[in-house]
């Protein structure tokens, strides 16, 4: 089973600062890390490989420093990593990103065959969650988003079953193979990498492709030129006011909560729990 995982290097948004003048991320203020969801995607691929055999390949679009994120994937257990890196990819929005990744996937598909594509649920910097479905659409394979568990893989019949997280529970879905999954963190725990993987990763040099290494690329669909997204305005979300904790037994809590909601919505003219 050959599995391809798309991975992105992102600034660690847990600690990143926002430039107060331009309202953009100050990328120098935070270290670049592997998008946390993508780490789970790679881990899942490695797990499936252990069961079904085959190979795990990771693919990323980004600047040369993104090699570090690819090496991290080798630590987790990926066999190979490709970086597509070229000035002409720069400034891509989700449409152009998924196009570029799709072109690289096509080439890998021709070279080695791909049974399954994995992505993270979303990237913690861009946050759109559109790249995965964008790739699936172009590949004309089913996108299964928000996957929390792979239930079954049947390579003979070329189909798989997964659990998708939905608002009030989960959904069990069967799909043909190949298909594309975007994964949630619940899907697995990223294991502490074994020492031989660490050594392999330290030695590993990802394969770098430029636009010229891809076939039949429409340059107009790449990078800034291929990106119809226009950023109108950016601003940090307003800080929400401090939360109020309600304690007591269930009855007491329910009462306090209802009172609070009624008061807040100004229904029934309730104040301090009393009708006025």
Partner 1 sequence: MSEKFDVIVVGAGPAGTSCAYTAAKNGLKVLLIERGEFPGAKNVMGGILYRKQMEEIIPEFWKEAPLERPVVEQRFWFMDKESMVTTSYKGLEWAQEPYNNFTVLRAKFDKWFADKAVEQGALLINETVVTECIVEDEKVVGVRTDRPDGEIYADVVVLADGVNSLLAKKLGFHKEWKPEEVALTVMEVMKMPKGSINERFNVEDNQGVSVEIFGESTKGALGTAFLYTNKDSINIGVGTTLSGMIKKKMKPHQLLEELKSHPMIKPYLEGAETLEYLAHLIPEGGYNSIPKLVGDGVMVIGDAAQLVNAIHREGSNMAMASGKMAAETILKAKELGEFTERNLDSYRTDLYDSFIGKDLKKYKDAAHTFEEHPVYFEQYVPLMNRAMSTMFTVDGTAKWDKQKKIMNSFTAGRGKLGVAKDLYRAWRVVK
Ligand X SMILES: Cc1cc2nc3c(=O)[nH]c(=O)nc-3n(C[C@H](O)[C@H](O)[C@H](O)COP(=O)(O)OP(=O)(O)OC[C@H]3O[C@@H](n4cnc5c(N)ncnc54)[C@H](O)[C@@H]3O)c2cc1C
Stretch of residues binding partner 1 (CB under 8 A), selected from 104-112, 193-201, 229-237, 261-269: 193-201
Closer to ligand X by CB, 97 or 188: give it.
97
> Of these, 31, 53, 64, 91, which contacts ligand X (CB under 6 A)?
91
Bridge partners of residue 150, in order along the sequence: 162
* Selected range binding ligand X among 11-19, 89-97, 148-156, 200-208, rule: CB under 6 A: 89-97
Which stretch in 3-11, 15-23, 156-164, 171-179 sits in contact with ligand X by CB under 6 A? 3-11
- What sign results for the dihedral spanned by CA atoms 167, 170, 175, 178? positive
State how far the Cα of 61 lies from the Cα of 78, in Å rounded to an integer: 17
Query: With CB cut-offs between 5 and 8 Å by kind, which of partner 1, ligand X, none does residue 199 bind?
Result: partner 1
Partner whose binding site includes residue 115, from partner 1, ligand X, none (CB under 5 to 8 Å by kind): none
The residue behind tokens 């079954």 is 152
Whether cis (ω within 30° of 0) applies to the bond prior to 194 is no
For residue 11 the two structure tokens come to 């600034």
Contacts of 7 (CB under 8 A, 6+ apart): 34, 35, 38, 41, 42, 58, 59, 60, 69, 70, 73, 120
Q: Mask: binding to partner 1, 203-222, rule CB under 8 A, as x and -? A: x-------------------
Among 192, 230, 265, 275, binds partner 1 (CB under 8 A): 192
Q: CB–CB of 38/4 below 8 Å?
A: no
Burial of 77 from C-beta contacts in 10 A (0-12 / 13-18 / 19+) = buried
91 binds, among partner 1, ligand X, none (CB under 5 to 8 A by kind): ligand X
- Under the binding rule (CB under 8 A), the answer on residue 254 touching partner 1 is no
- Distance of CA 175 to CAs 129, 172, 227, Å? 20, 10, 31
Verify binding: residue 188, ligand X, rule CB under 6 A. Answer: no
Is residue 128 a contact point for partner 1 (CB under 8 A)? no
Binding site for partner 1 (CB under 8 A): 191-196, 198-199, 201-203
Binding site for ligand X (CB under 6 A): 6-8, 35, 37-38, 60-62, 91-94, 97, 101, 119-120, 122-123, 125-132, 229, 231
């Amino acid at each position: 089973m050959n599995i391809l995982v798309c991975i992105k290097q992102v600034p660690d948004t847990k600690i990143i600062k926002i430039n107060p003048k331009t309202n953009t991320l100050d990328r120098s203020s935070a270290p670049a890390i592997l998008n946390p969801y993508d780490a789970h995607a790679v881990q899942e691929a490695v797990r499936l490989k252990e069961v079904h055999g085959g190979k795990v390949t990771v693919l990323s679009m980004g600047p040369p420093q993104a090699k570090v994120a690819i090496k991290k994937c080798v630590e987790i257990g990926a066999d190979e990593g490709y970086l597509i890196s070229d000035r002409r990819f720069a400034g891509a929005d989700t449409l152009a990103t998924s196009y570029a990744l799709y072109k690289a996937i096509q080439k890998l598909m021709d070279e080695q065959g791909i049974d399954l594509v994995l992505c993270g649920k979303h990237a913690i910097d861009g946050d759109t969650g559109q790249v995965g479905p964008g790739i699936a659409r172009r590949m004309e394979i089913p996108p299964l988003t928000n996957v929390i568990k792979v239930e079954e893989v049947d390579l003979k019949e070329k189909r798989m079953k997964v659990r998708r997280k939905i608002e009030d529970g989960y959904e069990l879905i069967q799909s043909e193979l190949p298909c594309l999954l975007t994964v949630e963190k619940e899907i697995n725990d990223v294991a502490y990498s074994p020492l031989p993987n660490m050594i392999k990763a330290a030695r590993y040099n990802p394969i770098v492709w430029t636009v010229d290494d891809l076939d039949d690329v429409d340059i107009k669909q790449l990078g800034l030129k291929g990106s119809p997204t226009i950023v109108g305005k950016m601003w940090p979300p307003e800080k929400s006011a401090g939360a109020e904790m309600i304690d007591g037994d269930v009855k007491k809590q329910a009462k306090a909560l209802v009172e609070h909601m009624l008061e807040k919505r100004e229904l029934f003219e309730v104040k301090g729990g009393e009708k006025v």
